[in-house]
A and B are shown apart, each in its own frame.
Chain A
């Protein structure tokens, strides 16, 4: 599986994603600067966590307008898998690749801790190696992860099996509607989630629950 990680100014999980991808796939991902105009030929594009453009205007708003995003959108339309983690999820909603918006956490606090999740959907290239309903723990680290969409959109996401990860009972760290932690686009090749699977692929870092996302992608895309 060939992969690329987009690097925006003030991305700070780009290296985490790089290390996880290299460890899991055995191949170094391409690191693509946001000002570049074209993505290399890859199976997976990762939009990493961080504070792109200092979160100016709104989280992900400036990054969604950067030059490389035009090609990311074009590649996503053609079916290339795109994984947006944390700030990457915010960039995906701001660029219209995923519905809804990520708002300030309901209690206004930056939350940085491991959080229990349920894998709510395994019919996806990102989660096929998990069991339906499997409980996993991924870290979160964000101030704006409060997923919002109108009821019609939320019903549609649930009805179409596009809510892939939910915060487990009592674990919702940010006030997200219907405990939503991660969603797919309609074509199911774009996933955005606030928790960080790339930070839990090595026991030395506190867990390996995130490996399933990469193992699923490797199986689906190789």
Chain B
């Protein structure tokens, strides 16, 4: 089973990198660009075949290491 974990800053936490990207996009003439937030994508291959168990284990990984839940939130996507 394959998993994709998205880690992004929580709403309300200042994201200076996202702001800089937004400014650069405006500089390139993409005037329609509003707020930009940036984050991380982590792809993980799992030997676990049971989806519920995989999800529980990934949640544990996010809480313990992949995300710093003081400032970040995470989303888990599973693919067979």
Residue numbers of A with Cβ under 8 A of B are: 57-58, 61, 65, 93-94, 99-101, 103-108, 148-149, 175
Contact = CB atoms under 8 A, between A and B. Distances in A.
A148 B17 contact: no
A148 B71 contact: yes
Contacts of B68: 58, 61, 94, 101
Nearest to A107: B16
Contacts of A57: 65-66
B65 A65 contact: yes
Given A57-B65, A57-B66, A104 B71 contact: no
A93 B68 CA distance: 10
A106 B16 contact: yes
Contacts of B65: 57, 61, 65
Contacts of B66: 57
B20 A100 contact: no
B67 to A, nearest CB: 9
A175 B20 contact: no
Nearest to A100: B70
Interface of B: 13-14, 16-17, 20, 65-66, 68, 70-71
Contacts, number: 32
Given A61-B68, A105-B16, A108-B17, 5 more contacts: A99-B70, A103-B71, A106-B16, A108-B20, A149-B70
A128 to B, nearest CB: 30
A104 B72 CA distance: 13
A175 B17 CA distance: 14
Contacts of B20: 108
Contacts of B17: 104, 108
A107 B66 CA distance: 25
B40 to A, nearest CB: 8
A100 to B, nearest CB: 6
B9 to A, nearest CB: 8
Nearest to B9: A103
A99 B71 CA distance: 11
B16 A101 contact: no
B70 A175 contact: no
Nearest to B66: A57
B73 to A, nearest CB: 13
